[in-house]
Amino acid sequence: MISRTARYAFQILGYLAARPAQQLRGEEIAAATGIPANYLAKILNQLRKAGLVESQKGWGGGFRLREGAETRPIRDVLVVFDGLGSAERTDCALGRPACDAGHPCAMHAEWAGVRDGFTRMITTTRVADLAQ
Amino acid sequence: MISRTARYAFQILGYLAARPAQQLRGEEIAAATGIPANYLAKILNQLRKAGLVESQKGWGGGFRLREGAETRPIRDVLVVFDGLGSAERTDCALGRPACDAGHPCAMHAEWAGVRDGFTRMITTTRVADLAQ
DNA sequence: ACCTCAACAGATAAGTTTATCCGTTGAGTT
DNA sequence: AACTCAACGGATAAACTTATCTGTTGAGGT
């Protein structure tokens, strides 16, 4: 539902959101969050390419939240790491290819409810909310 | 949330539940469900060890639902394939180790709601309900 | 007894996710 | 210009999930 990588990304963004307009080194974020430093570097790179984070190289460099990123729903983050299908869930809990309102599986309604709650969660929660 | 293997198991049990007191060959179930035959054999073996299915070898052999298995909640199936943690979810959506009512993360309440809906689904749905 | 059938069991492989390693680039300092 | 710092990028590895392959066991038919 939420990959470990995506959860890392949430934590990282939360750490940045809590320290706006500061240049934070990857090493520092790794130490603070407990995320493996080298892996965290990859994640931050993807966040940069996705336009959520800005970076600066060299002495005094580091990462910071990009302007306007605080208001982005965390759904945008999930899409980056877990793909579109993870955010726009329409799958069947049994894995049946054709499961819809017309031919529902045993869990169709309840599963749809669970998914809706999830969708609501990731669309209403914004990056700024992750600040700890 | 639900591994592919567990979904396979749901489908298999549904197929068996729809044909009670019949001896069904693995090959037949695989053909009907589209699940890879050799992988399906493994799954059925685990279901047997978990006491959900009975089997018979040789000519005329096959699988059938075990007595009383129809009333088992599908939570029991999920535990077999995805582990206890998958059924008794208490994890944090952000992956933070200490996230509780006292120190909730941004999504704590909503995520708890999603999890509760899921728990409810897998405890109220029984194997018999999977029959297609 | 012998043969066939289908479940059983272990080993191996493919694919995906997570994590590590190492050299390069570019920015700032001295 | 030389040096250091930290982000960048590609390659590699470890771990887990999913899938395949091969031979064995046991039950029934001939």
Blockwise average pLDDT, block size 10, chain B, 132 residues: 97 96 95 96 97 95 95 97 94 91 93 97 97 86
pLDDT confidence band for A132 (50 / 70 / 90): confident
Which chain B residues contact residue A129 at CB under 8 A? Answer: 106-107
The CA distances from residue B45 to B12, B61, B100, in Å, are 12, 14, 39
Put simply, whether A37 touches B (Cβ < 8 Å) is: no
Q: Which residues pair with B8 in a beta bridge?
A: none
Which residues form the domain of B64? 4-130
Nearest Cα neighbor of B50 from B76, B11, B23, B12 is B76
For the domain that residue A42 is a member of, what is the CATH number? Answer: 1.10.10.10
**Torsional sign, CA B99, B105, B109, B112:** negative
Q: Do B121 and A130 touch (CB under 8 A)?
A: no
Residue B88 CA to D7 C1' — how many Å? Answer: 40
**Structural domains counted in chain A:** 1
3-class SS of residue A49: helix
Q: From the Cβ of B60, is strand D under 7 Å away? A: yes
For residue A101, the model assigns a pLDDT of 87
Q: What percent of chain B has pLDDT over 70?
A: 100
Q: From the Cβ of A63, is strand D under 7 Å away? A: yes
Q: How far apart are CA B18 and CA B32, in angstroms?
A: 13
**Torsional sign, CA B6, B8, B9, B10:** positive
3-class SS of residue B47: helix
Asked whether residue A21 carries a pLDDT value surpassing 90, the answer given is no
Q: What percent of chain B has pLDDT over 90?
A: 94
Q: What is the pTM of this model?
A: 0.94
Q: B59 vs chain A: nearest CA distance in angstroms? A: 31
